[in-house]
Amino acid sequence: MTIRIAINGFGRIGRTILRQILSLKHNGDITVVCINDIASIETLAYLFKYDSAFGPLSDSVSTDGSNLVVNTKKIPFFNSAEFTALDLSDVDVVLECTGNVRSRKVAEQGLAAGARAVVISGPSDHADVTAVIGANEGAIQDAKIVSNSSCTTNAIAPLLNYIDKCLGVERAHITTIHCYTNSQPLVDAPRCDAARSRAAAESIVPTTTSAAKELQKILPDVGSRTSISSVRVPSLSVSAIDATLQLVNSVGMSSTDILKASAENLPVIGQVVDPCVSRDLRARPESLILALPETVIVGDTQIRLFGWYDNEWGFSARMIEMSRLLAARP
């Protein structure tokens, strides 16, 4: 079965998705029917070829009129602000990667253009359902518009759900240590809150995270017992979570055994046993990579764990997997 997708918005996530689809053999079942973005095709071709986080693409990248050409493969490129003007009747899934879904009408644009489903690359109150693979993907059922939630929620929810089922989570506090993003200024400039108005590459910035609200949607029970905070750090890519969980039941085994079991049972969770730093985890496809040497059990029922996640590469991998789930429905 070939899955036909369209990418609307060729920014950080849109370009990372295409890199994965073109470069990884296991994505050979996916065809990119078209890309749409309001920026110039020449600029976006350059940014696709040369990436500050992932390095230059080994394939040749050029433009041919209104096509993005990778090696000899031509991908039609549209420059339309009105997505509904396109004919997407042969598209299984639209990957909505503009980061600009401000209303239900915008969320529905891919459907209005003829596609059978839409996956939004971020939190959205305008989706039919919010789903995270490894936590609640069964909730998609017959939904036409699915929010893939946030990179941080994808990192937290599968592991928290697993540990809650195995040992019970009485309460938890999680801090995401997040690399800076385009929502922050490079020099001091007004933003949504005072701290986030400061220069992103110069300071550690305490701020909020959408993952707190998102976890309540995905895992309302354990989410109600979990608090989540965030600090933005001056790093280009790869983020981390630092979590302290108070458990209902005694751990009863070594901390590494618990986390190894979660990685074995959940394909979206990986693990490292070496003392790694953030850049070592760049372009890892898992939603979370547990750092086993950083795990500590305090007493019988408290566990501290630490995990890495490439907030762009891992999240993009989940977007692709979500497309497969939606396209496979009858």
Catalytic residue numbers read 151
Alpha helices (runs of H) in 168-270, residue ranges in sequence order: 211-218, 220-223, 255-265
How many C-beta atoms lie closer than 10 Å to residue 37's C-beta? Answer: 22
* Alpha carbon distance 116, 93 (integer Å): 6
> Torsion angle of alpha carbons 316, 229, 180, 14, nearest 10°?
20
* Alpha carbon distance 122, 27 (integer Å): 22
* Alpha carbon distance 246, 198 (integer Å): 34
Ramachandran sector of residue 140 (left: φ over 0; alpha: ψ -120 to 50; beta: rest): alpha
Helical (H) or strand (E) element with 55: none
* Alpha carbon distance 267, 302 (integer Å): 25
* Alpha carbon distance 126, 145 (integer Å): 8
* Alpha carbon distance 114, 207 (integer Å): 39
